[in-house]
Structure 1
Amino acid sequence: MTHLPNLITDLGLILCAAGITTLIFKKLKQPLVLGYIIAGLLVGPHVALFPTIIETENITIWAEIGVIFLLFSLGLEFSFKKLVKVGGASSVMALVEVVVMLLLGYLTGKLLGWGTMDSIFLGGILSISSTTIIIRAFEELGVKSQRFAGLVFGVLIVEDLVAILLMVLLSTLAVSQQFAGSEMLAAVLKLGFFLVVWFLAGIFLIPTFLRKASKLMNDETLLIVSLALCLLMVILAAQVGFSPALGAFIMGSILAETTKAEKIEHLIASVKDLFGAIFFVSVGILINPETILTYAGPIAIITIVTLVGKALSITGGGLMAGQGLKTSVQSGMSVSQIGEFSFIIATLGLTLKVTSDFLYPVAVAVSAITTFTTPYMIQLSTPLYKFLESILPEKWKRSLNEYSSGAQAINTTSDWKLVLRSYVVNLVLYSVILVAIVLLSARYLNPFISANFINGEMGTIVTTAITLVFMAPFLWAFAVYHPQKEALGRLWANRNYRSLLIVLEFVRVALSLLFIGFLLNQFFPVQVSIVVALFIIALLVIFSKRIQKFYVRIEHRFMTNLNAREIKAASKMHHTLTPWDVHLTSFDVSPKSVVVGRSLLELQVREKYGVNIAVIERGDRTIMAPTRQELIFPGDKIYVFGSDEQIETFRQFIQSEVNLQGERDRAEDVKLQKLVVSEASPLLHTSIRASGIRETTKGLIVGIERNGKRILNPESDLVFQVNDIIWIVGSPWRIKELEAVPNVMAG
């Protein structure tokens, strides 16, 4: 009889159990993750009613593979550009939640009499919500299009990155067995350094490689190449001391920026589902039912802490970010569960042998309970909001509304902010790149050249020369390049700022010289380094123009790869109707464009320029065939249909900027203000359109309170009545001018 390896027998048993529970939980309309966990419990060594797996150690290997592909798929959905686009509100909410739940988890563990490491890991387990469970619940309840859902998605994106950081910090803490601030800081800096290096190198190389090889790739080869890249980054992450799962997540986020992202995500779905099922089944295998019964009390307490703590922390974070009571409550009630990352953090504790055996099944039990409660929590959010609104004092509600309006005021970006932000970004990015080049040269390039080509001093000189060639464009960019030339020019025009700008330039040049010294110090004595440094500086000055061209090519390739998906999407909308010689093209609306804040009716682009605005893209929203009342906002992308001559004329118009001469020299805040119409007001019995408020304040009437009723976004033909409270979004100083109109009182 042929001997069948236990690994295959165990895998067959796992998949059979997973398949049966999948069908049952599909029928019951329950999350499949819970079905997988129960399947693992049934085939695990602690339940004798069903066939039991033979070698638990083998399943651990399958589970690790499952974690890798699970995080690879999460990375494909993550995208660092999404993180950059996440609003400040979502970031505040996520960070408040993580900090609060870390503290609550630790305190709960201590109150239960658990050890320090168990309590710390419990805080990490409770701090991350489940992306999979929340998205599925939103789809089933049909709330994905609501405002709070967008905030929650932003919170989940931030939490994914925080979870990666937590894994690194907890690993460092587990090894040192004590909270050392210097070690934690070193771990964070190391993570940040490698994240930047991997992301920059990945975006520069991988999209280009996929584009060059696209003609050779069918679905099969693309799948194999994607998995190979994933596992390559897994190996690289493990080599530098990080979790293999981190490498998988990073590679997924890099591939998420390529034009092949959707295709890879589709191809990898089956692999992810297979190994993800094995991972969650392995979670159930490690559960001892007796442990759950023994720790039923702590499980109940931790579940309550999770439900209440997450709801309150997210709600509080939302209120702090000025999101209003309703949106904050809905967001808080949506994230009261733990999931995938919590299992991974719990597994990390077991793998490192720093947590007790009971913590893992306790975490799984809490996850199972909170998963069941998630849809009900979301459904209860609106009734809870209405209840809170009914019991809150009017003074509190008015204060919340005023704070929410103030927190969402829009401020213009100053030139100093633009320049300093560009300096800081350049400082971080180019410092990381230059340090990485020098370290790679010292650790790999120099030994390679010495061992295979030229030994001794000549080999060192060759290594230095090659390294300098790679460093030159980034040294030039670090010391000379100005990405915000217009803002810098405006600041330089003000004599009061010139001395400070000169100091900043001097600092940049000095830091560039330090990097040259850092390179030379790897290979030469100090005296020789100074002489060589002067020679290198002279060469950099002589070949400055060539270095500049080289850098521009590097930057262009990087930005093209980074924005490849957007470029491809835009190109799909550029078509030509040959008989009429017209085509569709797009324009990005600058914040200073003359069209900002004006409706299509006011602009009359068809009448003046002969073109039609067919589509407006606003963030993730696409407005097809916009109406004449649609306003143009900063950052909009508008798709215009017309001939070359018509589009060129329109381009000159849309790219022209508002003439600010004669305007007050101040940054304009946009705030929500109110006016009350008296009996003698000239506004009385006039319509919004005829009142001239819009022209006087450069603002927008967003609401009117009349006899206790609220009219949101009133029609322009609505006529003002006595004691109407008019809510206007606009510049405070302009609205102050309106107050000068007799018998119109400001609130």
Structure 2
Amino acid sequence: MHDVHEFLKTLAIVLGVAAITTVVFQRIRKPVILGYLIAGLIVGPHLPLPLNADPTTVRTLSELGVILLMFAIGLELNIAKLVRVAPTAGVIGVLQVALMMFAGVAVGRAFGWTQIESIFAGAAIAMSSTTIIAKVFEELKVAPALRELVYGVLIVEDILAILLLAVMTTVASGSGLDATTLAVTTGKLVAFLVGMVVVGLLIVPKLMRAVVKMGRPETTVVTSIGLCFGLAHACAAMHYSVALGAFVAGVLISESGEGHTVEHLIVPIRDMFAAIFFVSVGMLIDPALALQNWAAVLVLTVVVIVGKVIGVGLGGIVTGCGVRTSVQAGLGLSQIGEFSFIIVGLGATLEVTRPFLFPVAVAVSAITTLTTPALVKRSEAAAKYVDDRVPRRIGAFISLYSAWVERVRKAPRSSTTGARLRRLAVLLVLDAAALVALLVGGGMLRGRIEQAAAAYFGLGPRAAQLLVFTAAALVALPFVFGVVRLTRGIGLAVAGVDRAAARPIALVVQLGLLVAVATVSITAVEPFVPAGLGFLLLVVLVGLAVVAFVRTARQFEVEVQAGGGLVLDLLKSKLGGEGAARAAHAEGHAALGSAGANEAPALLLGLGAPRLLRIVEGSSAVGRTLGELNLRATTGAAVLAIVRDGQASMMPGPTDRLEVGDVVAAVGSEEALSSAEALFSATEPEPEPYADAAESGTRPRATTKDDPQPA
């Protein structure tokens, strides 16, 4: 009876204080997660207040919160959604997580933390908060395109976080970072996951569809949560994270097509236990430890904000999102949250990290949670500031490259090309995984191999180190060449029928994939090599990529400038000279036909034939710069040239201003060009035969699917 009384007392204290802090934070328009953390601080052992809750009871209840949070995240995912976000959010997510983990490990090593503490710190700052982002986006009414991109990246981050949790659990609970242990535990994890998913796909979807058909909500709730806890227990019995089992259970139920039904029913249960989880996080906060490590808190906060903007920005540019959208997405993702707490909490539970790391991570989360609304609110202005200061040549190239990616993405693709792309992607993942495994294994065994080489060949320490490094480079070289060859093949396959003409632009696809694979590889090997070596390699890699990108942009500009004469000839051929141009302007025509359309696509490097749009009197574009119009982010089209007084200005920059009578040569998908035409025209645009002929074979953009709903 005494235990029951203590349990009720703890539950009443936790939920009562959490209710008060939640109401207060709602009133002051701050994220309620901060309210839960403050409630945990109040009922925790580190403040001299008479409201101490039993930590053992709270910890048990918080474990249920973790399970239900991961279950809800899994319910939002399915294979079709993963395939849809993979080409854009997949690349961005992998690049951003790898870069942030690298930065976290580097910061940990700089502060003298242990190897495993640095890895946990890197994993913690790599994951953004779905809960915080969803709340901020809802309040600020963010544009659908930006919201869809950010939620796609969050999906990828969730998957990577689950995998990191599983791997770090097995490694940290074993004999440390030993190559043999890592290989064995990773193999067991993969086998267990494959078995659980395969068996689950045969049973769970059919079972859930049958249960939902019964029309009894309580039966659906009990069955789904029973599956959730059953798989969580299975993972715990195999010494894996319970979060992994709950996440897999959610994914399996989502595959039944009833994920949204189950999610709607479990929301109240999830929210209550999630609140207890965040309160338990607050109870572990030791303000004294956070103050003692204020320098680490400050540095990690700056790394989170700046690093995520850089990582997401680079990934967004490579995947064709453009400068502005990429910068806005990076600012929106510049915080850490629930997964960070779970990761550092795992380290504390397994006693592989010292107590200071948890309050440091929570402090960074609290600061970035407070800065996120301001950053999102000012993201459009910040993105415009960055875009306006990108060199004209580079900015124009990025805009046209984004239009090309959009056009390629929307174009119909043959089954042969699709199969080739899938095969190349699978081979790239396998080659990259083999390279990472080789680097990690070599890093772990480096000391033993150097000692053996020194004893066998009679070498000194430096000579043995050089020998081992050279041998490792030679072994890794075939995999490196394989990655280069496969990324080149993917770039050319994406270009499709235009690959001969679009080679300069397709090179950017290859550069982006190479940077992503190399960043992941360097991040994986960073904890096992001398300090500074990984940073030096990453700087050299990024430097080479930037040089190649700038050279590609220059080559592209030269080839496009050579097409200026054709664009002007097309215009004159249609209008019949300046007199006809003035007559057309007087009639108020906004869209123009073209002669010579057959030559345009080959000349314009896979961008397709341009649509010629006149700026008429009364148009909202008159007197505004291209930067102010933000045509690429608004419509998806890009400006190839502006024709004024018989002169064509190719690849104009964001500071170029439009005037009445200008003719804009725009490129992009059919829907993007139609949107640009509507923007430039004072009246409803008429059907455009030139664009129909030039863009034949393309299909209209599919309607935007429902955005992923946050957990």
- Work out whether the TM-score is over 0.5: yes
Question: Which of residues 302, 305, 310 is equivalent to 2:300?
Answer: 302
Q: Residue 355 and residue 407 in structure 1: after superposition, are their counterparts in 2 closer, same or farther (change >3 A)? A: same
Shift of 1:49: 2.5
Shift of 1:334: 0.6
Amino acid of the residue matched to residue 32 of structure 1? V
Match of 1:28 in 2: 28
Q: Residue 679 and residue 323 in structure 1: after superposition, are their counterparts in 2 closer, same or farther (change >3 A)? A: closer
Shift of 1:392: 3.0
The structure whose RCO (Cα within 8 Å, separation 6+) is larger is 2
Aligned equivalents of 2:625, 2:281: Cα separation in 1: 55
Greater shift, 332-341 or 704-713, is seen at 704-713
Match of 2:90 in 1: 91
Q: Residue 220 and residue 304 in structure 1: after superposition, are their counterparts in 2 closer, same or farther (change >3 A)? A: same
Aligned equivalents of 1:389, 1:318: Cα separation in 2: 14
Shift of 1:201: 3.1
Shift of 1:730: 8.3
Match of 2:154 in 1: 156
Shift of 1:349: 0.1
Indicate yes or no: 2:69 matched with 1:70. Answer: yes
Match of 2:117 in 1: 118
CA RMSD across the alignment:
3.7
Amino acid of the residue matched to residue 288 of structure 1? D
Match of 2:367 in 1: 369
Indicate yes or no: 2:38 matched with 1:11. Answer: no
Shift of 1:10: 1.2
Match of 2:376 in 1: 378
Aligned equivalents of 1:339, 1:309: Cα separation in 2: 16
Equivalent residue pairs, number: 490
Secondary structure class of the residue paired with 1:726 = strand
Once the two structures are superposed, the pairs formed by residues 632-651 of structure 1 within 5 Å of their partners are none
Indicate yes or no: 2:41 matched with 1:46. Answer: no
Indicate yes or no: 2:242 matched with 1:248. Answer: no
Shift of 1:70: 1.1
Match of 1:584 in 2: none
Greater shift, 262-271 or 154-163, is seen at 262-271
Once the two structures are superposed, the pairs formed by residues 95-106 of structure 1 within 5 Å of their partners are 95-106=94-105
Amino acid of the residue matched to residue 567 of structure 2? V
Match of 1:228 in 2: 226
Once the two structures are superposed, the pairs formed by residues 210-289 of structure 1 within 5 Å of their partners are 210-214=208-212, 216-289=214-287
**1:576-610, Cα deviation, whole Å (9 max, x unpaired):** xxxxxxxxxxxxxxx99xxxxxxxxxxxxxxxxxx
Quick check: 1:677–1:725 contact (8 Å CA) kept in 2? Answer: no
Aligned equivalents of 1:389, 1:2: Cα separation in 2: 65
Shift of 1:314: 1.0
Secondary structure class of the residue paired with 2:665 = strand
Aligned equivalents of 1:676, 1:188: Cα separation in 2: 57
**1:279-323, Cα deviation, whole Å (9 max, x unpaired):** 110001111121122222221121111111111111122122232
Amino acid of the residue matched to residue 21 of structure 2? T
Secondary structure class of the residue paired with 1:209 = helix
User: Structure 2 stretches of 5 or more lacking a match?
Assistant: 428-495, 498-559, 576-580, 602-607, 616-622, 638-642, 648-662, 671-689, 695-711
Aligned equivalents of 1:399, 1:254: Cα separation in 2: 43
Match of 2:574 in 1: 683
Quick check: 2:403–2:668 contact (8 Å CA) kept in 1? Answer: no
Aligned equivalents of 1:36, 1:279: Cα separation in 2: 9
Quick check: 2:34–2:366 contact (8 Å CA) kept in 1? Answer: yes
Shift of 1:239: 3.0
Amino acid of the residue matched to residue 42 of structure 1? I
Once the two structures are superposed, the pairs formed by residues 338-357 of structure 1 within 5 Å of their partners are 338-357=336-355
> Larger Cα Rg: Structure 1 or Structure 2?
1
Amino acid of the residue matched to residue 133 of structure 1? I
**1:249-285, Cα deviation, whole Å (9 max, x unpaired):** 1111111233432221111111101111111100011
Match of 1:727 in 2: 666
Match of 2:548 in 1: none
TM-score after normalising by structure 1: 0.60
Shift of 1:31: 1.0
Amino acid of the residue matched to residue 125 of structure 1? A
Match of 1:521 in 2: none
Aligned equivalents of 2:167, 2:12: Cα separation in 1: 37
Q: Residue 175 and residue 702 in structure 1: after superposition, are their counterparts in 2 closer, same or farther (change >3 A)? A: farther
Indicate yes or no: 2:330 matched with 1:332. Answer: yes
**1:115-172, Cα deviation, whole Å (9 max, x unpaired):** 2211111001001101111111111100042x22221111101001000111122223
Amino acid of the residue matched to residue 666 of structure 2? W
Aligned equivalents of 2:77, 2:69: Cα separation in 1: 12
Quick check: 1:313–1:332 contact (8 Å CA) kept in 2? Answer: yes
Aligned equivalents of 2:29, 2:224: Cα separation in 1: 33
Quick check: 1:703–1:728 contact (8 Å CA) kept in 2? Answer: no
Q: Residue 721 and residue 354 in structure 1: after superposition, are their counterparts in 2 closer, same or farther (change >3 A)? A: same
TM-score after normalising by structure 2: 0.62
Secondary structure class of the residue paired with 2:153 = helix
Aligned equivalents of 2:206, 2:163: Cα separation in 1: 29
Q: Residue 221 and residue 121 in structure 1: after superposition, are their counterparts in 2 closer, same or farther (change >3 A)? A: same
Quick check: 2:336–2:369 contact (8 Å CA) kept in 1? Answer: yes
Amino acid of the residue matched to residue 90 of structure 1? A
Q: Residue 188 and residue 134 in structure 1: after superposition, are their counterparts in 2 closer, same or farther (change >3 A)? A: farther
Q: Residue 223 and residue 425 in structure 1: after superposition, are their counterparts in 2 closer, same or farther (change >3 A)? A: farther
Shift of 1:387: 1.8
Higher strand share: 1
Match of 1:658 in 2: none
Amino acid of the residue matched to residue 101 of structure 1? M
Amino acid of the residue matched to residue 70 of structure 2? L
Identical columns (%): 35
Amino acid of the residue matched to residue 13 of structure 1? I
Q: Residue 696 and residue 709 in structure 1: after superposition, are their counterparts in 2 closer, same or farther (change >3 A)? A: farther
Quick check: 1:109–1:118 contact (8 Å CA) kept in 2? Answer: yes
